[in-house]
Each structure stands twice: as C-alpha cells, then as structure tokens.
Chain A
Amino acid sequence: MDYTILIGGKAGQGLQTIGGVLARLFSRMGYHVFSHQDYMSRIRGGHNFYQLRFSDKEVSSSRKKANIIVALDLTTIELHKDDLEENGIIIFDAQSVKQTFTGQEFLNVPFDKIAVENGGDKIMSNTAAIGAVLGMLRLETTLLEEIIHTNLKKKGNDIINKNILTAKAGYSYAINECTQCSFAVSMPGKNGNMLIDTSQAVGLGSIMSGCKFYCGYPMTPSTAVMNYIGSKAQEYSIVVEQTEDEISSINMALGASYGGVRSMTGSSGGGFALMTEGVSLAGMMELPVVITLAQRPGPATGLPTRTEQGDLLFVLHSGHGEFPRVVFAPGNPEQGLYLTNKAFDLAEKYQIPAFIITDQYIADAQWTYESLDTDKLVYNDYRLRSRDGAEAESAYQRYSFSEGAVSPLAVPGDSKRLVVVDSDEHDEAGHMIEDAEMRTKMMQKRLLQKLPLIQQEIEAPFYFGGEKPDIVVTGWGSTYGIIKDAVMSLSKTQNIAMLHFSQIYPLPLSEQFDYLKILTEARITICVENNATGQFAYLMRAETGYKFTHHINHFDGRPFLLESLTGEINECIERL
C-alpha cells in the first residue's frame, strides 16, 4: 500500500493546514509518511501544493502521480489532472472552484457549504476537506478529533466542537457520495510514528548540543531553523537574535562563541555570501561556530522558494585564505539531528567553523520515524574553564604550540587567563605578527596539522546494495531519499547500489569503507545532483581523482521525482 495525496491551491488557502494535519494523522496512525512542499514566492495567490505519500512501508521520496488530489482552486485541476494515478480521484468544491467537472475521477464535495452548515463559518472548509479525505480512504475520524483538540486548544471548546462536527460531516459526505472510491487501505497496526522535517531536526540537534545562542537574518528557506529554535528559546535558555544583516550574524555568533557559549547562525545563498568574511575570521581566530546553509537556486536572489544543490563548492571555498572546516549535508531529518550534533562537537573540539547544508526541498520535507536514536548524541565541553585549575594562568596563551594542533580555548573573565584573539596573523599569545617563521608555524598548526585529525572523525558514506554492484548511483545531501527509493525499485531487475555522502568535507577516508574500490569496479557510476555543473562530482575528482561515468543533473528549481529519476537512470543503463 502506497498512496500519494496532493493538496493544491493558492497561497493563503490553507493547503499547509490540510497537508500538515493529514501528515500528522497518518504518522500517528503508524503509517510511514513523506511530504514535501512546492510554493511560489508570494504570500497570497499563485499556485502551491503540498504533496504527501503514506505507506505501510518506508517511503523517502515524492512521486509525480497522485491517488487523491485535493483541489482548492481551478488551477490545481488544470495543472495536475494528468498526474492522476489510475482510479485516482480529484476532490473539489464546484462552488468555490466556480466550475464543475464530471466523470469517474471527480468528486464534488461542497466544502464551504458543509462548513457553514456545521461550523457556522466558511473558515472551517479545510476541516471539511480533511474529513472528506478520511472518508474516501475509509479511515476513522477519532485521531482527527484528537488533533483538532490539540491544535485548537487555545481557541476554546466551541470552536473545537464546530470543527469536529464539520470534519464528521465532510467524512460522511465522502462515505456516502464517493461510490467510485476503491482505495485499499490496510491499518498498520502499530504505534504512532513521529513526524519531523529537516529544519526542525537541525534546530532540535542544536538544542540537544547545548547551543545557547542563535542569530540570523530572515531568508527563505533558512528561516525555519530560526523559527524552531526561537519557539524553544525560553524553555532551553537560548538567546535568539535577529540581526541587522548577515554580516552581523556571523560576527555576533563569533562574539558569543568567544564569550564562552555554543553558537550558531544560518542563512541561504545571498545571506551566506555576506557571511563569508566572518567565516574567514572564524578560520583565523580558531573560534567554534556552526553555520547552516539552506540552499536555494541562485545566482543572486535566484528562485527564492525553490530548491537546488548549487552552493556546495561555494561553502567549501567560502572565506578567503586557507583554513580547515567540516561540511555536512544531511539527507534526512535523522541525519539532520545527528550531523548537527556532530557539527557542534567537532566545531568546538577543533575550534573551526562547521557547516550544515540543506536545501528548500529537504528543509521542508517531513519524514516519519518510530523513534530517533539519541544514544549517538554527544556533549563534551572542550573549553578550558576556571574549574580546570587556575595554575599557570599568567602563562596562558590562546594559540600555544605546546598542545599541538589544538590549543586550549579559555573563556574570558572566567579566570585570570587573558584570551587574545586576532584577525591578523598572530603569535602564540594572540598578538599581531608579520614574521615569516611564525606565520609558517601558525599555518601548520591551524591548518595542516588539524585537517588530518578532523578527517579521521568523518564517517563512511551510506552504502546500500550488494558486494559487487554493476551500477552505482551516487548523491549527496537532499537526494538521499529519492536515490534510495529509485535504487530500491530498480534493484528488482538490476545489480545496482547506492552511495550517499552526508559528511562531505573532508571526504571520508577509504580505510573504514573503500567506496573508491566499489566505484572503480562498477560498470556504470552515476552522480545525481540537483545542480547544473555536478559540484560533488567535481569534488570527488579533485580530492580522489575518481571520475563518474554518468551524470544526472536537474537545475529547474524543482526536486527529483521518483518516476523521472528511475527513467533517467534506466536511460544511462541503456545508453551503454
């Protein structure tokens, strides 16, 4: 069982509410859910959709074809009617769409009328639509009632009751009228799943890593992380500040880090471009900071609400000069949580900037999990604090060579140790220097000695497939789910495997898992990327000399969809 529901309409029509409630409902019922959103850069009007897939098996990608289309406007019908799966149904309200459609695949449900008759207000027509979808699937409304209770708690009992009445009326209407509905929905018969998107997971990861300071400047799609942390700020004592610009964000985050707390900032393309000066400062000062970059298509303001993996090389090279960093690109919320934690840990352990790259698609995409494994999470306070003995305080030097690549980072004011950090090249005490010998020693300590240590912390890429695959599909970051689903379905007929990188820089050492051997021994190796130039393939070539035999690149601002990716992989296979 594997169904896709698409809810389409204008911005402001509440399709996120409908989609959000249905996604939560299915995950509570114990189904696996995957959802993603497609929206235009406008607050009202336009055409947006929310697409969710639910199944009794794991799902991790979006399909093109839908089984149910909830059309809140005429455009949705016009644009998506050809995407209807066999026996699929489009439900709509003829009165609000101002046109009627007849035929097997259409179900006219008077959402507005149901809402007015049962709840007294058209505003509840979305609730009627949710009820109707449940009716079409012949699922119960008890959990929906619970969700209405929690979601509307603040609005009071009257509103809750009216919504429940409306939901039930929508439900009965569909049960009675949808004679053509033939969905075979099996109950998963287990406990509810959790539902989380990657922005929330990154936010959660930072809270669980002891982040005490987050600052940023709004930019889609990075704002979701700030919103999430902001909503929890009071509870977990985190100062969240909206800065005057992104230049300020990174510098403020570094100031807080110097002050002794874990700090984070984040942005998208253009905003991150402004931060690069500060990234370089973090590199020179050796101050820990975590930076999330939610990519969107560029150059410049690009496609503000669309998706792309176009900034990998930019992040790798961001900031002038040479200094170490780590770059992670989670492929799902679980990796988002875990890699954010790891980013905080490594940033502080090695006193470097650590990056978490997402993109619009993965930032919004919701996944279900039975639970998330928090045993992997670590928290070590690597800073030198007054409790660590006050002896030899006067001898403290911020960039002392005596401890090797990582000098102890003290907290100013916490002891008599003076913490001197500088954007100029400096000596062990942190004071500006210009001499060649000290410069060389500092570069060796800060960069050349640290990088190999960092590389040893990087884990092997995710591999899925047999021992000697004929075909290997490779990707990084947000394409994890889609590649997994595509490879899974192709593995029925092909000796195919998947290789996914979420810890991108430094690249994993092949000692733990020899991914280069797998690649070189395969006949066809395809690098799938949501960008025009194949940035990850470039990195692989630059770092390892390995060159993929094939590339699949999309750069239309849209995510990969299952049917088309499978088709394109097949084409690569046939072309040979």
Chain B
Amino acid sequence: MNALSDYKGQEPAWCPGCGNFPILETLKTALFELGMEPHQFTIVSGIGQAAKLPHYLKCNTFNGLHGRALPPATGMRLANHEMPVIVTSGDGDCYGEGGNHLIHAIRRNINVTLLVHNNQIYGLTKGQASPTTTEGVVTKTQPFGANASELNPISLAIGLDCSFVARGYAADSVFLKSIIKEAITHKGFALVDILQPCVTFNKLNTYSWYKERVYHLDETYNPYDRAEAFKLAIKLPDKIPTGIIYKNNKLTFEERIQILKESPLVKQGFSLNSTLKELDTFY
C-alpha cells in the first residue's frame, strides 16, 4: 500500500458540512498509517447516514440491516479472527435499534472496533429524536419535545466493563485519529463514541456548541481506573472530555474459545470421511 488515495471509495452523498466527512477522512488516514490494506479488514455497518461510510472507502464491506451491525461482525470474527473488523454506526442504529446487541457484544468482548457517529439525531430519516437526543428537544415527531432522558453511552459501556471506551469529536481530526488507531489496535471490544454535528437536523449540538465544550484528557489521566472513569462519564456536560476514558485488558471472546486456538475456523478444513464415525454412536 502506498497512497492514501488507494482507500478512496464512492463519492459521499452526505450534506455539505456534515460531521461524517472528517470522520471518514480521519478513519482513512488511521487505516493508512496502520498499514492496513483495503482487503485486510472488513467494515460492517447497519443503516443510517453514518452506516453508508464503508461505501465511501475501499474495503471489504458488509452493509447490513438497521441496528444489526454487531451480530454479523461477531459472526465474522468467529469465522476468521485474524481479520480486523470495524463497525461504523449511528446513535440510532447502535443505541436504539441495536441496543441489545451492543450490551451483548460488550459482554462477549469480541475483538471489534465500534465507531458510533453520534449526531444525537436521526439523519437519514430526516430528523427524529434518537436515544442520545437531549431531553426536551423539539422535532417533527416529538413536537412537544423529546420526553425521555438521553442515554449516556460512555457510562453505559463503563458500567458493562467494556474493554475500551473512548469519546472523540469529528472536527478534532488529529486527536480523533490517535483514538481510532488505539481502538483498532486494542485487543477486545472498543467503543468510540464520536460527537458528530448534523448540520441539517441538529440545531443544538453544532460545531460552535462543541467548540466551547470539548477538551482533551491529558497524559496524567489513568484510563485503567474504572471508578474515576465512571465519575468522568457522569459529570454533566458543560465541559465534554474526549480521549480514552476507560480501558482494561480482559481476555477476548475469541481467546476464550478453545477451538479457535489452533487457527481461524475459515482455515480449518473439512472432510466428510472424518465425520462418518459419528454414526456409530447411534447403535
């Protein structure tokens, strides 16, 4: 692999100024700098603006169903745990429709990198509230304001003892790149919640709104301290910390499966003859 341009996919169909653009560029650069060629990894996604990303990047792609990116990603890792798998998802896709799968992917600790483009709104379906929409925000389907309180994905993930929990900001490319690179190389399930402005539908969480609030966690911060991480996660957001908030070194799901120790399933051959003896067990 020699050029960043080798990762170029189709022309994105996002609105000009959308926060998805810098995320796409940052991911490309991260992959390039990690030396991962397009055929050496797979991007899995569900449905939504964010979930279209794999088409805009050259790679193996499984663009599945709304909310359902994590189960196929898990199946893929079990079939071939030497293949890095990255999931790109939206807040509706991952925290709404796919909420149950998120809980269990974290619990399994499958070695997958999950990038959630969190624009706190449903983009593709034109601006309804998502699980991360701030309470009270008015939309067409929530004319009296969103009634539920917003989900905090960071505290949820720490609560589930997720192996890697980070927050990034779309417009902060250099820092975001370092987070994504660490997430991809991390062994275990890595969640990166990426704050992403939706210039069309989200009039609250704008570039300027984020600019006033987002800050970097510095080197003195210890991401292995779960209690501290939790405190940080539940602090109310007049200031929003970004960086790696929590980490641990648990065994991955793949490592806990005996059969996968030898080689990936996809490389384990099969011969019908080796199974014939099974018939004898029925006599």
Binding site for B on A (CB under 8 A): 27-28, 192-196, 200, 204, 207-208, 210, 212-213, 215, 232-234, 236-239, 241, 243-245, 247-249, 251-261, 263, 277-278, 281, 285, 371-372, 374, 377, 379, 411-424, 430-432
Contact = CB atoms under 8 A, between A and B. Distances in A.
B40 interface: yes
B144 interface: no
B10 interface: yes
Contacts of B34: none
A432 B64 contact: no
A261 B79 contact: yes
Nearest to B41: A413
20 contacts: A194-B283, A195-B282, A195-B283, A204-B278, A232-B278, A236-B275, A239-B78, A239-B260, A241-B78, A247-B71, A248-B71, A251-B75, A255-B73, A277-B65, A278-B68, A281-B65, A285-B64, A372-B279, A412-B60, A420-B61
A179 B274 CA distance: 51
B207 to A, nearest CB: 28
A134 to B, nearest CB: 19
Contacts of A259: 75-80, 83, 265-266
Contact of A421 (B61, B71, B278): B61
A399 to B, nearest CB: 12
A423 B65 contact: yes
B79 A260 contact: yes
B75 A252 contact: yes
Interface string B263-283: 001101011101110110011
Interface in B70-124: 71-80, 82-83, 100-101, 103-104
B131 interface: no
Contacts of A419: 60-61
Given A192-B283, A255-B44, 4 more contacts: A194-B279, A253-B75, A254-B75, A418-B59
Contact of A255 (B10, B37, B54, B76): B76
B257 interface: yes
B201 to A, nearest CB: 21
B58 A414 contact: no
A415 B76 contact: no
A260 B75 CA distance: 10
Contacts of B77: 259
Closest 5 CB pairs of A and B: A255-B75, A259-B79, A255-B72, A251-B71, A256-B75
> Could you tell me the dominant secondary structure of chain B's interface residues?
helix
A201 to B, nearest CB: 9
Interface residues of B, number: 55
Contacts of A238: 259
Given A259-B75, A259-B83, A261-B79, A244 B103 contact: yes
Contacts of B82: 413
A251 B68 contact: yes
A257 B79 CA distance: 8
A413 B39 CA distance: 5
A332 to B, nearest CB: 14
> Could you tell me the dominant secondary structure of chain A's interface residues?
mixed
Contact of B272 (A208, A281, A422): A208
Given A195-B282, A371-B279, A411-B266, A234 B101 contact: no
A255 B71 contact: yes
A263 to B, nearest CB: 7
A207 B274 CA distance: 10
B8 interface: no
Given A208-B272, A234-B258, A28 B283 contact: yes
B10 to A, nearest CB: 6
B224 interface: no
Nearest to A238: B259
A170 B241 CA distance: 76
A256 B61 contact: no
Contacts of A248: 68, 71, 74, 100-101, 104
B265 A423 contact: no
Contacts of A423: 47, 63-65
Contacts of B71: 243, 247-249, 251-252, 255
B155 interface: no
Nearest to A263: B75
Please indicate which of the listed interface residues A254, A281, A416 has the most CB atoms of chain B within 10 Å of its own CB.
A254
B60 A418 contact: yes
Contacts of B26: none
Interface in B226-265: 257-260, 262, 265
Interface of B: 10, 37-42, 44, 47, 52, 54-55, 58-65, 68, 71-80, 82-83, 100-101, 103-104, 257-260, 262, 265-266, 268, 270-272, 274-276, 278-279, 282-283
A278 to B, nearest CB: 7
Contacts of A195: 282-283
Contacts of B104: 243-244, 248
A254 B72 contact: yes
B279 to A, nearest CB: 6
Contacts of B272: 208, 210, 374, 377, 379
Given A236-B275, A239-B257, A418 B38 contact: yes
Contacts of B80: 259-260, 412-413
A421 B77 CA distance: 17
Contact of A213 (B42, B78, B275): B78
Contacts of A260: 79-80, 266
A255 B279 contact: no
A215 B71 CA distance: 11
Please indicate which of the listed interface residues A239, A249, A263 has the most CB atoms of chain B within 10 Å of its own CB.
A239
B83 A421 contact: no
B62 A258 contact: yes
A249 B54 CA distance: 23
Contacts of B79: 212-213, 255-261, 263
A251 B62 CA distance: 11
Contacts of A207: 275, 278
A237 B58 contact: no
Contact of A208 (B60, B278, B283): B278
A208 B75 contact: no
B72 A237 contact: no
Please indicate which of the listed interface residues A207, A253, A258 has the most CB atoms of chain B within 10 Å of its own CB.
A258
B255 to A, nearest CB: 13
Contacts of B41: 413
A417 B37 CA distance: 12
Contacts of A411: 266
Contacts of B258: 234
Nearest to B13: A432
A313 B240 CA distance: 54
Contacts of A416: 37, 39
A28 B283 CA distance: 7
A212 to B, nearest CB: 5
Contacts of A247: 68, 71, 101
Contacts of A278: 65, 68
A245 B103 CA distance: 12
Contacts of B83: 259, 412-413
A28 B278 CA distance: 17
A413 B42 contact: yes
B48 to A, nearest CB: 12
B65 A251 contact: yes
A422 B78 contact: no
A43 B144 CA distance: 49
Please indicate which of the listed interface residues B61, B64, B75, B100 has the most CB atoms of chain A within 10 Å of its own CB.
B75
Nearest to A260: B266
